[in-house]
Amino acid sequence: MTTHTHDHVLETEGDTITWWAPLYDVCTWLVSFGSVAGIRKSTVKAARLKAGEAVLDVGCGTGDLTLRAARRVGAEGRTAGIDASPNMVKIARRKAAKKGRDVDFRVASIEDLPFADGEFDAALSSFMIHHLPDDLKLRGLAEVRRVLKPGGRFVAVDLKPGKGIAGFISHLIGHSLPDDYAEQLRSIISEVGFEDVEILEVKSPLALFIRARR
Ligand SMILES: C[S@@+](CC[C@H](N)C(=O)[O-])C[C@H]1O[C@@H](n2cnc3c(N)ncnc32)[C@H](O)[C@@H]1O
C-alpha cells in the first residue's frame, strides 16, 4: 500500500486486499455462487440512476459495479470510482479502457474524498463499509453525504449477517458481523445526517441493501 499512510486500518485493509486484487473477481464469483452480477444489477436499480446523472462508487474495487453504473448514466452522465487500493484501481481502469467507458477511477479513501461538496446525484458502496472501524464509518459516510447534492441518493450494499451463507463468508474472510448489523448500519447512516434511511427488501442470501437520501 503506497498511499494513505495516515490510517493504520486503511493500510492494513489496503494491503490485504491489494496483493490478491487480480483474483478478486473470480473469488467474488465463487463465494457468491455466481450471484454477484445480480447483486450489482439490484444495486444500480436501487440507486434509481438516470441517464445524464453523476454517480460515485466508493470502495469500488475492480470496478464492476462502477462500470454498470456508468452504462446506466450513459455518455452524457459522469461516473467516478475511488478505492484505497492502487492495484484494485489499476484493474478497474484497465476494464474501463477495454469497454471504452469514460470513468474517473482514483486511488483515494472514503474518509477523504477528492471531490467538492454536492458533485454527485448518487453514491454507491458495495461490500466495503464492514471493512471500516466505527469511527471511520462515521467519517467516511459523512464524506459521502458531503459530496452528494441535496436530495442525492446513497445506496449501501453489504454482507448480510447471520448463520446463512453470508454469515459463513464473513466469518471466512475475518469480518464476523453482529446479527443486528443492518440496523447498526442504518443507524450510523442516519447519525451522519442522511434522511429516509431504509433497509430495502431485495432478495439475496448474501447482501443487505440500504438506501438513504441527503
Ligand atoms: C470487498 S471489496 C469490495 C469492492 C467492490 N465495491 C465490490 O463490490 O466488489 C472492499 C474494497 O474497499 C476498499 N477499501 C477498504 N477501505 C477503504 C477506505 N477506507 N477507502 C476506500 N476504499 C477502501 C478495499 O481496497 C476494497 O477494494
pTM of the model: 0.90
> Is the CB of 143 within 6 Å of ligand 1?
no
Percent of the chain with pLDDT over 70: 89
Q: Residue 108 pLDDT more than 60? A: yes
**Ligand 1 pocket mutation, candidates 4, 40, 128, criterion most atoms within 8 A of CB:** 128
**Three cell numbers at 19?**
496483493
Ligand 1 centre distance from Cα of residue 59 (Å): 4
Domain boundaries, the chain: 8-213
CA atoms within 13 A on the CB side of 60: 36
Judge if the beta carbon of residue 110 lies within 6 A of ligand 1: yes
- What's the whole-number average pLDDT of the chain? 89
pLDDT exceeds 90 at position 17: no
pLDDT digits (tens, 9 = 90+) for 160-203: 887 777 777 777 766 778 889 999 999 999 999 999 999 999 98
Domain 8-213, what fold? Rossmann fold (3.40.50)
Instruction: Tell me the HSE value of 78 on the side-chain side, using a 13 A CA sphere.
Output: 9
Q: Is the pLDDT of residue 73 over 50?
A: yes
Q: Other CB atoms closer than 10 Å to residue 117's CB: what's the count?
A: 9
Ligand 1 binding pocket includes 21 (Cβ within 6 Å)? no
